[in-house]
Amino acid sequence: MTATEKILARAAEKCEVRPGENAWTNVDVLMINDISCPGITGIFKKQFGNTAKANPDYKGVCHVALAQEGHCRPGEVLFGTDSYTTSAGAFGQFATGVGNTDAAFILGTGKILLKASKKIIGEISMSGATYKTMEFVGETIESLSMEERMTLCNMVVEAGGKNGTVAADRTTYKYLEDKTTAPYEPVFSDENARFLAQYRFDVSKMEPLVAKPHSPDNRALARECNKVKIDRVYIGSCTGGKTEDFLAAAKVFLAGGKTVKVPTFLVPATQKVWMDLYTLEVPGSGGKTCSKIFEEAGCDPPASPSCAACMGGPRDTYGRLNEPQVCVSTTNRNFPGRMGHIEGQIYLTSPYTAAASALIGFVTDPRKFL
């Protein structure tokens, strides 16, 4: 069996589960965010009463906060009321999003009826992994930090994936050392596990990419887009607003030694990330923090942790596109209206490319500064 099949079989108290099989599954962790909580509360009260309890402490963007607070653990089943709950698959667990009704049912019973998904590994379109598991393996994956693995699993949903997973290893265990005392049991895919498809990549030949409007799979090389004039840059979200994302951007600003040509918005994912920007020294900077480098580069001061403009929101949402502008963003979706204005043009990039583009005023290959 694959790792995902093993996790679901154990949670369903069965010897095995196979793709397409429905099974009542015990849930280890349920995440409910601010937006969905009122609806779920109403359903829960109607069906189960008033006995639910929740942690009211605000931490920031749920997917990053879950990891930082030790709620993501190998071998477990985690559901959340947001599609990017797949981020937690970086910890070698099953993690995916659900709607309000399912969340209320999980809250009341601790279970959910789940259909086991097929497994693939590889390069696909926005619908290429519909209700499938994407498992990431290889030396390059093993070399990634936990935050980098979270970014990878985060974007699985943009291929239609049910979940994504990276096998737990020393990097995982080290990350969890000071975050949780809860016991966990990692699981791994068998050598003879069957996958629907497998893809291999030579990362030495990869170049910085962007996703052009209006789809995450409308990809192009960053250097091919160097004539695209931009109006603003946005660095943030559960995808691109983690500590390492801001360290990457700071590295480019530091190397560039100049100020940004366009308004550059910074939105840390959580309170911890916000604090890191003001306390962690950027390697090779002579003791400067990210916040100091951002200030010298002319960026907007880091905003309070939130999803902010990644979801569009009301007109007064920080960083929102209120005009038909061109934005380079480290977020995850670039559909029409995603960050606000229906005619906005969103280019999805890495923090490296976002920072380089801010310095030039055009979409820019970050290798110009690295």
pLDDT of residue 118: 79
Q: Which residues of the chain are under the pLDDT cut of 70? A: 53-56, 119-123
Rounded distance between C-alpha atoms, residue 91 and residue 74, angstroms = 5
Rg (CA), the chain: 20
In the prediction, which pLDDT does 126 show?
75
Cα four-point dihedral sign 244, 245, 250, 251: positive
Q: Say what angle helices 243-256 and 351-360 make with each other, to 10 degrees.
A: 30
Which amino acid makes up residue 98? V
What region does 110 belong to: left with phi over 0, alpha with psi -120 to 50, or beta? left
Domain boundaries, the chain: 3-204, 207-368
- Residue 56: the pLDDT is 67
Tokens of 33: 């965010």
Residue appearing with tokens 């192009």: 220
Kindly report the CATH class assigned to 3-204.
alpha beta
* pLDDT of amino acid 55: 66
CA distance 132 to 159: 9
User: How high is the pLDDT of residue 120?
Assistant: 62
> Identical fold at 3-204 and 207-368?
yes
Nearest-CA neighbor of 359 among 262, 290, 269? Answer: 262
Looking only at the bridges linking them, the beta strands covering 77-80 and 94-97 are: parallel
Buried/exposed 84-112: b ≥16 CB within 10 Å, e otherwise: bbbbbbbbbbbbbbbebebbbbbbeeeeb
Q: What is the pLDDT of residues 307-319, one digit of tens each?
A: 999 999 999 999 9
Q: What's the pTM value of the predicted model, to 2 decimals?
A: 0.96
DSSP-derived letter for residue 367 is: G
Res 124: pLDDT: 72
* β 111-115/22-26 pair status: antiparallel
Instruction: Give the homologous superfamily in CATH for domain 207-368.
Output: Aconitase, domain 3 (3.30.499.10)
